[in-house]
Structure 1
């Protein structure tokens, strides 16, 4: 089980979340600090992979961009689990799972 929360860099100066990490805020140039996020969001876009690129990962599987609830446009790449791949839709509410997927990707499941 992955017990650590999902950390995203945050600018305390202008209150913006920044991902991927850049070291300084793109809006105000302030320093960034890794902070935990709620782990809730919606599927922004996704693809269902049927090709076995990695023999250790059973197909089909879903790779998605999840827009986190903390901020519009704050998106992370993740795998969607806990449902049939063909049932995933854009706008579907999801939340993070405590474990990580192959390669360390965060796992999200439908709410």
Structure 2
């Protein structure tokens, strides 16, 4: 394992749409044809009691990438050698504005731990990594 090289996700058939869209600068969540359901992370069935109707067809639903900081933590010890130069590392759960109830866990970038406040507005940014792009959130900056 090479030091200071951040890991990259390994897409599977269920999550491939998410990573492909991220590579193109688009944040998407999973929906299902004919159902008013949005979920993340992607799964093989709708996250409702009973898994939804048989044969529910998954679809990618583009979202704005804007949201509200729901929760966060500050890691002061790297969990992987690729993050040695990134501590303190901010990890947050952002609830999406246009997909209520859907929360995405990512790194929080371009922020100081002391400025983070639950409920603050966030926006997605994409970090190029290998041949992918990793969605991450940062606080919305007003001019």
Normalising by structure 2, what TM-score?
0.66
Contact persistence 1:49–1:59 (CA under 8 A): yes
Q: Shift of the alpha carbon at 1:18?
A: 1.6
Structure 1 position 52 matched with structure 2 position 52 = no
Structure 1 position 37 matched with structure 2 position 66 = no
| Larger radius of gyration between Structure 1 and Structure 2 | 2
> After alignment, is 53-62 or 99-108 more displaced?
99-108
Q: Which residue is equivalent to 2:27?
A: 6
Contact persistence 2:93–2:105 (CA under 8 A): yes
Q: Relative to total residues, which structure has the larger strand share, 1 or 2?
A: 1
User: What CA distance in whole angstroms lies between the structure 1 residues aligned with 2:29 and 2:42?
Assistant: 8
Q: Shift of the alpha carbon at 1:105?
A: 4.5
SS in 2 for 1:56: helix
5+ unaligned residues in a row in structure 2: which ranges?
A: 1-22
Structure 1 position 20 matched with structure 2 position 41 = yes
Q: Relative to total residues, which structure has the larger helix share, 1 or 2?
A: 2
Q: Shift of the alpha carbon at 1:101?
A: 6.8
User: What CA distance in whole angstroms lies between the structure 1 residues aligned with 2:128 and 2:38?
Assistant: 22
Normalising by structure 1, what TM-score?
0.82
Off by >3 Å, runs of 4+ in structure 1: 100-105
User: What CA distance in whole angstroms lies between the structure 2 residues aligned with 1:60 and 1:86?
Assistant: 11
Output the aligned Cα RMSD. Answer: 2.3
- Provide the aligned length of Structure 1 versus Structure 2: 110
Q: Shift of the alpha carbon at 1:89?
A: 1.4
Closer/same/farther in 2, CA of residues 22 and 53 from structure 1, 3 Å limit = closer
User: What CA distance in whole angstroms lies between the structure 2 residues aligned with 1:55 and 1:9?
Assistant: 31
Q: Which residue is equivalent to 2:115?
A: 87
